Structure 1
Amino acid sequence: MIYLDHAATTPISENAVNTWIKANDSFFANTSSLHEPGEVANQLLTTCQRQLATLLDCQSDEIYFTSGGTESNHLALESLYLANKHKGNHVITSSIEHPSVHSFFHQLEEKGVEVTYLPVDHHGLIDIEEVKKATRNDTFLASIQHVNAEIGTIQPLAQLGDWFKERAIIFHSDCVQSFGKIPINTPAFSVDAISISSHKIYGPKGVGAVFLSNKVNWSKIRPLTSHQQGFRPGTLNIPGIASFTQASVDIHEQLEDRRIQAWSLREGFISAIAPLGDKLRIEGHPLKSNQLPWIIGISIKGIQGQYMMLSLDRHNICISTGSACQSEEFDASSAMNSIYLSEQDRLRFFRISFGKHTTKQDLSLTATKILEISKE
């Protein structure tokens, strides 16, 4: 099998599995318990917070663990909204956010909050001038993703963060697709909160985290919650957290070397399908500074994305027609609706997303099959 759907999820690494087993055997106690096993488990939790904080250049008490990226987005945004809603009635996000972010902002609209959904250009990039135009005196919260899961476009977080910081607007970013692939420096990006996830970086499913700056106010979503300073209720999943942390540390080793290798694989694959000529369209941004190499959005004139996915699946090659969170719905995702003008164009889209075990041979064979299928 050739697995090319890493933007949806990654296989857990051997190192992460071994860490989970060790933590499950030796650190199984509740971190809130006052006995010695509870204290030992709490010490491991503190170590994990400190290690993640080092990777994000923040303080260890600014790290909160969750069940994954979706919950991280919900908890971060809702806790920030509740504490700061008195400051205004306008919030900003983009038209291509993850469904979990759009879901939250749709709920705010039902409460009477005004929401601006920023447009993107045909490369999926937000224009900073559009952000400036959208900002109002009563804008108090913004959430803009770092990397789009379907086409890999990287948004200019530092520019956006500086703009929002100057105006005391709280800034959250969904960094699920960028964490472990792009260095994330929370002070340099001027972000107040970010969301990350374990299963995108060879860690276990069901674990994620939020960076939430000590400089901003946030409120408990559920009263009487005691765990993690009241950010999230429930006994902490210490084995999962330890495994996630190990995966995070591992993936940040030789980060630049892996990025260079990924660009080489990407360029080789695109060259291999170049014979498709004018029928081929590669989505995303043409500049390396604005594009994640591991994600390749593609459309081929005359071929539906779902047909390409099913045809490759018969050859044991796994790809996607977009975000896995949308895969059971027939409607196009928000990113596709923002980039493509017609439904026909949206239906052509499919995504190749590779990972650390993907080889040149894997992509070469995939390219060959794509060319063959396109001629059928």
Structure 2
Amino acid sequence: MRQIYLDHASTTPVRPEVVEAMAPYFTEHFGNPSSIYPLGQEASDAVAAARESLASLIGATPREIFFSSGGTESDNWALKGFARANATKGRHIITSAIEHHAVLHTCEALEREGFEVTYLPVDEHGLVSVEDFKAAIRPDTILASIMFANNEIGTIEPIRELAAAAHEASVAFHTDAVQAFGHEPIDVNELGIDMLSASSHKIYGPKGVGLLYVRRGVKLQNLLDGGQQERGRRGSTENVPGIVGFARAAELAAEEIVPERDRQLALRDHAIRRILEEIPSAKLNGSWESRLANNVNFSFEFIEGEGMLLQLATRGICVSSGSACTSGSLDPSHVLLAIGLPHEIAHGSLRMTLGRDTTREDVDFAVDSLKATLQNLRMMSPLYEDFQQGKVESVIERFKADGFPYAN
């Protein structure tokens, strides 16, 4: 059976060039980077080269890059490490209602430690208002964490403006850039970012490795205590093959970022237009203009998301109904609820995220399969039958009546 993978926001296959770069560090160059003999120094040099390469891609210095086990650890380290190290200056943090759970649950943990957190609302496109952000800043605000791009609906936030507003009030600014790193050009100095989280496996690198950029001078407590790895900031023997693979994946992504973004953008818009034109009671979630080039997220009325995913899987289509980290939950997406969708619509959501190997033929096959799947599911829905008979009102029709531009 033909298989089409459209869940690249969840994870990506490791590129052959990355596997090739990693391979020697599993075998002949297997030394511990903390060892002083040549075998260990070979590994140490590889880590240093990877750190320098990754730093250069975001306009940082090597000493501002710290390796982690992935985006979740980096988010935890940034928020907990900064809050605890700077608690004497204030105990108020600002974030948004649509952050990844790595940020939201970390903020909840900090609240249990006595910190106060403001969860900013977003508009119907998932955008944080700069004015709302400014209004939320208090004399005791020490940190703001706003994601670069949302993992579910793909909305890209106004990071430059938010960071500038934070700095005007002497507030540090962190961004979870896991979905944007390697897909959107990022210069931490130009954007005014003080801390940034990124992950390898979203850019065709290995799982289990990420980074935290920390601007020089930012005070941060350790999250992991132990040895003197990462200049004494993170105990644990470095994942040398993973770090080497991460750097190689990022280098390749940087070389292709503009043409690949443009190619995926054309495929994305083709998919969006087809769905809006050919599938009734469909709503595009998130901003069309300020959106990751590979992200397509829709809600469909009169169906349930899990059934849709299972039927698409039988047709060889790999997609999701939200973030991979919440796929086991029966609750509707907190992101979709935050942008104003009622529960019954939020439950019928679909996320397709394109990748390097996605073709127009793949997209068309996926949309054709989606049309057939929705028709099958709706034929079994008593609500859809009532809608056709005029007994119930369409929620998406109300979106259209309210002038919402991305509803069919």
Band of TM-score, shorter chain:
over 0.9
In the alignment, which residue of structure 2 is the partner of 1:364? 364
Alpha-carbon distance in 2 for matches of 1:105, 1:237: 28
In the alignment, which residue of structure 2 is the partner of 1:133? 135
Residue 233 of structure 2, aligned match among 214, 231, 234: 231
In the alignment, which residue of structure 2 is the partner of 1:98? 100
Which secondary structure state, in structure 2, belongs to the residue aligned with residue 229 of structure 1?
A: helix
In the alignment, which residue of structure 1 is the partner of 2:288? 286
Task: Sort the Cα spacing of 1:367 and 1:32 in 2 relative to 1 into closer, same or farther, 3 A.
Answer: same
What is the deviation of 1:30?
A: 1.1
In the alignment, which residue of structure 2 is the partner of 1:48? 50
Larger displacement relative to structure 2 (327-336 or 269-278): 269-278
Alignment of 1:146-185 (within 5 A): 146-185=148-187
Larger displacement relative to structure 2 (82-91 or 268-277): 268-277
Larger displacement relative to structure 2 (32-41 or 312-321): 32-41
Task: Sort the Cα spacing of 1:372 and 1:20 in 2 relative to 1 into closer, same or farther, 3 A.
Answer: same
Alpha-carbon distance in 2 for matches of 1:110, 1:143: 18
What is the deviation of 1:334?
A: 2.3
Give structure 1 stretches of 5+ with no counterpart.
none
Is residue 373 from structure 1 mapped to residue 373 from structure 2 by the alignment? yes
In the alignment, which residue of structure 2 is the partner of 1:39? 41
Alpha-carbon distance in 1 for matches of 2:222, 2:373: 53
Alpha-carbon distance in 2 for matches of 1:85, 1:111: 11
Residue type of the alignment partner of 2:323: S
Is residue 324 from structure 1 mapped to residue 332 from structure 2 by the alignment? no
Alpha-carbon distance in 2 for matches of 1:156, 1:113: 26
Larger displacement relative to structure 2 (59-68 or 336-345): 336-345
Which secondary structure state, in structure 2, belongs to the residue aligned with residue 264 of structure 1?
A: helix
What is the deviation of 1:218?
A: 1.3
- The structure 1 segments of at least 4 consecutive aligned residues displaced by more than 6 Å after TM superposition are none
C-alpha contact 1:27 1:239 (8 A) present in aligned 2:
no
C-alpha contact 1:74 1:100 (8 A) present in aligned 2:
yes
What is the deviation of 1:358?
A: 0.4
Residue type of the alignment partner of 1:62: E
Alignment of 1:1-376 (within 5 A): 1-223=3-225, 225-276=227-278, 278-287=280-289, 290-376=290-376
Residue type of the alignment partner of 1:304: E
Instruction: Give a deviation string over 1:118-145, Cα, whole Å, max 9, x none.
Output: 0001100001010011010110011110
Task: Sort the Cα spacing of 1:223 and 1:247 in 2 relative to 1 into closer, same or farther, 3 A.
Answer: closer
C-alpha contact 2:137 2:169 (8 A) present in aligned 1:
no
Residue type of the alignment partner of 1:2: I
What is the deviation of 1:271?
A: 2.6
Which secondary structure state, in structure 1, belongs to the residue aligned with residue 255 of structure 2?
A: coil
Larger displacement relative to structure 2 (153-162 or 105-114): 105-114
Alpha-carbon distance in 1 for matches of 2:224, 2:52: 26
Which secondary structure state, in structure 1, belongs to the residue aligned with residue 252 of structure 2?
A: helix
C-alpha contact 2:75 2:176 (8 A) present in aligned 1:
yes
What is the deviation of 1:277?
A: 5.2
Instruction: Give a deviation string over 1:112-169, Cα, whole Å, max 9, x none.
Output: 2111000001100001010011010110011110010110000011101111112211
What is the deviation of 1:280?
A: 1.3
What is the deviation of 1:276?
A: 3.6
Larger displacement relative to structure 2 (11-20 or 262-271): 262-271
TM-score, length of structure 2 as denominator length: 0.89
C-alpha contact 1:27 1:238 (8 A) present in aligned 2:
no
Which secondary structure state, in structure 1, belongs to the residue aligned with residue 261 of structure 2?
A: helix
Instruction: Give a deviation string over 1:59-89, Cα, whole Å, max 9, x none.
Output: 0011111111111111122221121111112
C-alpha contact 1:19 1:243 (8 A) present in aligned 2:
yes
Residue type of the alignment partner of 2:183: K
Residue type of the alignment partner of 1:196: A
- Flag the structure with more relative contact order, 1 or 2, with Cα contacts below 8 A and sequence separation at least 6: 1
Greater C-alpha radius of gyration: 2
What is the deviation of 1:20?
A: 1.2
Alpha-carbon distance in 2 for matches of 1:337, 1:31: 46
C-alpha contact 1:340 1:346 (8 A) present in aligned 2:
no
Identity among equivalent pairs (%): 37
TM-score, length of structure 1 as denominator length: 0.97
Instruction: Give a deviation string over 1:24-69, Cα, whole Å, max 9, x none.
Output: 2233111111112112211111110100011010000111111111
Residue type of the alignment partner of 2:128: I
